[in-house]
Amino acid sequence: MPYEKILTRNVGVPGSTSLKAYQAAGGYEGARKALAMKPDELVELVKKANLRGRGGAGFPAGVKWSFLPPNRDVTYLCVNADESEPPTFCNRVLMESDPHMLLEGILIAGYATRTTIAYIYMRGEFTEQFHIMQRAVDEAYAAGYFGRNVLGSGYDIECYIHRGAGAYVCGEETGLIESLEGKRGWPRIKPPFPAVEGLFRKPTVVNNVETLACLPHILTRGVDWWLALGPKGSHGTKMYCVSGPVKRPGCYEAPLGISTRELIYGPDFGGGMRDGMKVKACSPGGLSMGFLRGDLFPKNPSADKLDLAQDYDELDCKLDFDDTRRYGLLGLGTAAAVVVGEDTDIRDVLVNVARFYAHESCGQCTQCREGTGWMYKIAQRIRAGAGRRYDLDLLAEITTNMGMMPGLSICGLPDGAAWPIRTLVQRFRREFERHIDAQAPGAVEQAIRRVNPAAYELPIVQGRAVAPERGSMSYEHEWSNAAGT
């Protein structure tokens, strides 16, 4: 391995989940160091380390903590372990192999924010992981790392695991809070931000599992060591996930800023494609961040000048918080790459992506609820061989008119829904058009008539059944009688 394993050092190590094994490797030293400091010093330290949240938005954790109001009795810490973004699984790997690393991170973050109760919101499908984590929590309580007067410091913290029940939107921080309160996971309108008024209307911090797992290492090895990792502005290591038809799908750790090509082809990462396939598309940051063109396309002849309008290979996109934006992606996201091989029809990818968001939209904001369902219908129709060229323009239009960026939605889910579909349409438009042009003549009319038999009598203009013109034969037959004249 050219990169040191920090978060993933225990992946695949038998017996690594027990407290004994964790303590033998120097576990809970960071927490001891932290408890010897003042909470505010700890916040400053994490701010200095510029630990950016690993959950997707990349917001600095220390800054988030400093938004808490200074005078407060009760503070809640919610640990976001509702990992539902396809194809992300780094939190699962982390909790499976090193539950105590997360618990130590919770203790440190809890002390820095003067948390009274920490809730680990774990998605319902994490069953094995729940039992591992619960066992670890029990062990930690028995050893005095949670409960009253932690390690003789006079600090009290409780830690509970709360199991979700299968809802993508509960990974959004306010959706998670609502779900924890025992309601449906409908995100809240911000402000007030959770730091001011969150869970049970008290100041609340919501942090991702991986963010918290970085904390023990920052404390034991120092901020300077942390700042030396990765490029400027994106410090530290990241757990990259790679899945799809690659030779070694899995979770690999590296400093931020490796390229997508390295993640797919590097011998320490994905190890190349199966059966010598080429990459058609790759979504390098989780589904919501959008798709890049793969090496099926020719290389950009002027390597230093980015040209997204041309069909060039884009796998040189570096996976950090800034370079992903240059390539027109929404951000780094969860740094989970899914690779689409050249044998896959891009229309299938579009349908799958559209279905995911149509299913997971919580239904609160109209343009997300209706827009995602609409895009799913369009995607299905294109796949069924009844697409229209201007469906692609329609998809582009829908995607620009939903979400937080035009300022229409409560949470970021519609942005995440729009981005992969928009980038798929932008980058693979020529392939979609090829499929649409190859359709049998009259396919659109047939598809419409299958849905609505009444349309048999109506002329179809631009793929839409329209009312006939007055004076035509079908008008006299159908419409004059219907009107009762």
Partner 1 sequence: MSWQAVDRTRVPEEQLGPGLSEAVKEKIRAFFSRYPTKQAAVLPALHIAQDALGYVSLRAMKELAELLEIPPSKVMDVVTFYTHFWTHPKGRKTLLLCRSISCELLGAGKLKDAIRQRLGIGEHETTPDGEYSFMTEECLAACDHAPCLMVNEKMHKCVRPEDLERILADADNDRLDIPRSDLFDAP
Residues forming the site for partner 1 (CB under 8 A): 83-89, 91-92, 117, 123-128, 130-132, 134-135, 138, 158, 160, 162-168, 179-185, 200, 241-245, 249-251, 283, 287, 336, 338, 340-341, 344, 348-349, 352-353, 355-356, 359-360, 362
Determine the Cα–Cα distance for residues 293 and 408; give it in Å rounded to an integer: 29
In contact, 241 and 90? CB cutoff 8 Å? yes
Strand order in the sheet with 336-341: 250-255, 237-243, 336-341, 279-283, 292-293
CB nearer to partner 1: pick between 218 and 241? 241
CB nearer to partner 1: pick between 5 and 32? 5
Give the number of C-alpha atoms closer than 13 A to the C-alpha of residue 354, restricted to the C-beta side.
Answer: 28
Amino acid type, 293: R
Determine the Cα–Cα distance for residues 303 and 190; give it in Å rounded to an integer: 42
In contact, 315 and 292? CB cutoff 8 Å? yes
The strand pairing partners of 80, in sequence order, are: 121, 208
Q: How far is the CB of 83 from partner 1 (least distance, A)?
A: 5
Q: How far is the CB of 351 from partner 1 (least distance, A)?
A: 9
**What residues contact 16, with CB distance under 8 A and at least 6 apart?**
10, 22, 97, 98
CB nearer to partner 1: pick between 53 and 341? 341
Q: How far is the CB of 289 from partner 1 (least distance, A)?
A: 13
CB nearer to partner 1: pick between 358 and 398? 358
CB nearer to partner 1: pick between 160 and 225? 160
Q: How far is the CB of 466 from partner 1 (least distance, A)?
A: 32
Peptide bond into 192 cis (omega under 30): yes
Q: How far is the CB of 247 from partner 1 (least distance, A)?
A: 12
CB nearer to partner 1: pick between 128 and 307? 128
Nearest Cα neighbor of 49 from 22, 25, 57, 41 is: 41
CB nearer to partner 1: pick between 210 and 323? 210
Amino acid type, 228: A
Q: How far is the CB of 457 from partner 1 (least distance, A)?
A: 30
CB nearer to partner 1: pick between 96 and 314? 96
Q: How far is the CB of 300 from partner 1 (least distance, A)?
A: 26
- Beta strands per DSSP E along 295-426: 336-341
**What residues contact 462, with CB distance under 8 A and at least 6 apart?**
388, 390
Q: How far is the CB of 86 from partner 1 (least distance, A)?
A: 4
